Amino acid sequence: MDKASAPIGVFDSGLGGLTILKALQEYLPNEQFIYFGDTAHLPYGEKSEAALISYVTDIMHYLKSRGCKLIVVACNSASTVLTKAPNLPYEKDEIIEVISPIVDLISTQKKYQRIAVIGTRKTIDSGLFDKELKQRNNQLQIVSRATPLLVPLIEEGFSDEQALFPIFDRYFKDFDDAELIIPACTHYPMIYKQIESYFNHKLKVLHTPKIIAEGLKDLLDQNQLNNTGSKNEDEYHLSDLTDGFKREAEMFLGRAISLSRTLLK
């Protein structure tokens, strides 16, 4: 198999990474994707740095063994430890993560200056968004907030306004002046509309999956790695197989999928 026809690996702790995968499938319909959801260890946002490094390393080695030409780290919490993981089987320019493309875009745009960042405790406590954005553009006014309750609510299917708005009252009380919210968790695209509705559509929630998909397309174009041959079926692997994940995944993707339980150790 030549490298261009090889699959692309995508991984997350569970359901959230499917928001990235769906955008990738739409933007790059000729590419095969191998998705790994580490459901045995979710949520990543509550795990230690050492645990995350171990999970990320094991998953990347698995995807490397499957011949994946590039890796998409579809998880903000996992993205925060990439520079600290010593034994990754992929080079930096073979990995697309979900923080750098967002920082590149927001730090160079002029439309939005008052920005809120929401994410898991791991992502927010890392300070990566604040630090990188301020280094690139010190005119930005940034407020960050850990919003850990949102992930389990989304995972359990509680995505209606009646369930979410009382939580938003607590998390978003300092966001009245914000012009843009960066959802620094790949679960949050599933509740974009609810967040914008909560603010009466007076601010915008950044559509992060589209940005990641565009970044991957650019990388494929630059390195002439676009698949021009036949495409194999996408694969979906979980470290722990549950009926709930399958139901939620098929509802979000809009089609039936086949899931495989894949143990890495």
**What one-letter code names the amino acid at 261?**
R
Q: What is the end-to-end Cα distance of the chain in Å, rounded?
A: 27
- Cβ contacts of residue 130 below 8 Å, gap of 6+? 117, 142, 144
Catalytic-residue membership of 68: no
Half-sphere exposure of 169 (CA within 13 A, CB side): 6
CA 177 to chain centre: 26
Beta strands 33-37 and 70-73: pairing type? unpaired
Return d(Cα 83, Cα 174) in angstroms, integer.
Answer: 32
- Cβ contacts of residue 254 below 8 Å, gap of 6+? none
Query: At CA 207, angle to CA 203 and CA 210, rounded to 5?
Result: 160
Tokens of 31: 């590419």
Q: How many helices (H) and strands (E) does the chain have?
A: 11, 10
Catalytic residue among 56, 75, 184, 212: 75
Radius of gyration of the chain from its Cα atoms, rounded to whole angstroms? 18
Sheet holding 33-37, edge to edge: 95-97, 70-73, 8-12, 33-37, 235-238, 259-261
Tokens of 251: 């509802």
Catalytic residue among 185, 190, 220, 249: 185
Task: Supply the residues annotated as catalytic.
Answer: 75, 185
